[in-house]
Amino acid sequence: MLRTIVFAILVLFFFERCAQQVPPTGGKRDSIPPNLVESNPLNKTLNFKGKKIELFFDEYVVVDNINQKLVITPEADNPYSYKQNGMSVALTFKNQFKDSTTYTLNFGDAIKDFAEKNPAKNLKIVFSTGTSLDSGRVYGTLKDIRTNKPIFDALVGLYNVSDTLNIAKQKPYYFSRTDSSGVFSIENIQTRQYKLIAIDDKNRNMLYNAKDERMGFLGKTITAGTDSASYALNMYLSDNTALKVQRTLPKVNNYAVVFSKPIENVEVTFVNKDSLPYLLEPGGTNLKFFNVEPHADTTLVKLKTLDSLGITTEFEQKIAFQAQRGKTRQLDPLTLTTIPEANKPLTNEFTYKLILNKPVKTLDDQKIAIISDSLTNEPLNAFKYTWNTNRNILTIAAKSFAKDSVKFDIPKGSIISVEGDTLAKTLLKHPVLNEEDFGVIRGRVTNADTAVHFILELVDEQYKVVETVYASPYTFKNIPQGKYFLRITVDKNRNRRWDTGQIDKDLQPEPVYYLPDKILLKANFELNDINITIPEEK
Task: Say if CB 441 and CB 519 are below 8 A apart.
Answer: yes
| Cα distance between residue 126 and residue 483, in whole Å | 47
Three-state helix/strand/coil letters over 374-418: CCEEEEHHHCEEEECCCCCEEEEEEECCCCCEEEEEECCCCEEEC
| Cα distance between residue 50 and residue 52, in whole Å | 6
Region 336-433: CATH code: 2.60.40.1220
Q: Quick one: pLDDT at residue 203?
A: 87
Give the fold, CATH level 3, of 245-319.
Answer: Immunoglobulin-like (2.60.40)
Comparing CA positions, the residue from 173, 215, 177, 214 lying closest to residue 194 is 173
Angle at 252 between CA 251 and CA 253, to 5 degrees: 95
Q: Please provide residue 422's backbone torsions phi and psi, each rounded to the nearest 5 degrees.
A: -140, 170
Q: Which residues pair with 52 in a beta bridge?
A: 92
Task: Say if CB 469 and CB 493 are below 8 A apart.
Answer: no
Q: Quick one: pLDDT at residue 468?
A: 97
Q: Quick one: pLDDT at residue 538?
A: 64
The residue count of the chain comes to: 538
| Cα distance between residue 318 and residue 175, in whole Å | 48
Comparing CA positions, the residue from 368, 400, 397, 399 lying closest to residue 384 is 397
Region 436-533: CATH code: 2.60.40.1120
Please give the C-alpha separations between residue 288 and each of 256, 262, 277, 294, 463, in angstroms, as whole numbers: 4, 14, 9, 17, 31
Task: Say if CB 249 and CB 273 are below 8 A apart.
Answer: no
Q: Quick one: pLDDT at residue 14?
A: 46
Q: Quick one: pLDDT at residue 531?
A: 95
Task: Say if CB 528 and CB 492 are below 8 A apart.
Answer: no
Q: Where are the domains of the chain?
A: 36-128, 136-237, 245-319, 336-433, 436-533
CATH class, range 36-128: mainly beta
Comparing CA positions, the residue from 126, 153, 148, 149 lying closest to residue 39 is 126
**Radius of gyration (C-alpha) of the chain in whole angstroms:** 33
Q: Quick one: pLDDT at residue 75?
A: 82
Task: Say if CB 398 and CB 257 are below 8 A apart.
Answer: no
Neighbours of 374 (CB within 10 A): 10
Element (H, E) at 92: strand 88-93
| Cα distance between residue 391 and residue 278, in whole Å | 9
Q: Quick one: pLDDT at residue 355?
A: 96
Categorise residue 300: left if φ over 0, alpha if ψ from -120 to 50, beta otherwise.
beta
| Cα distance between residue 51 and residue 332, in whole Å | 65
Q: Which residues have CB under 8 Å from 351's CB, separation 6+? A: 395, 396, 397, 398
Amino acid at 524: N
CA pseudo-torsion sign 30, 31, 33, 35: negative
DSSP-assigned letter for residue 435: G
| Cα distance between residue 193 and residue 7, in whole Å | 91
| 36-128 against 245-319: fold identical | yes
DSSP-assigned letter for residue 119: B
- Domain at 136-237: CATH architecture: Sandwich (2.60)
pLDDT digits (tens, 9 = 90+) for 431-461: 999 999 999 999 999 875 667 899 999 999 9
| Cα distance between residue 98 and residue 77, in whole Å | 10
| Cα distance between residue 355 and residue 516, in whole Å | 37
Does residue 9 sit in helix, strand or coil? helix
CA pseudo-torsion sign 60, 65, 67, 69: negative
Q: Quick one: pLDDT at residue 31?
A: 77
In the predicted model, residues of the chain with pLDDT beneath 50 are 1-2, 4-24
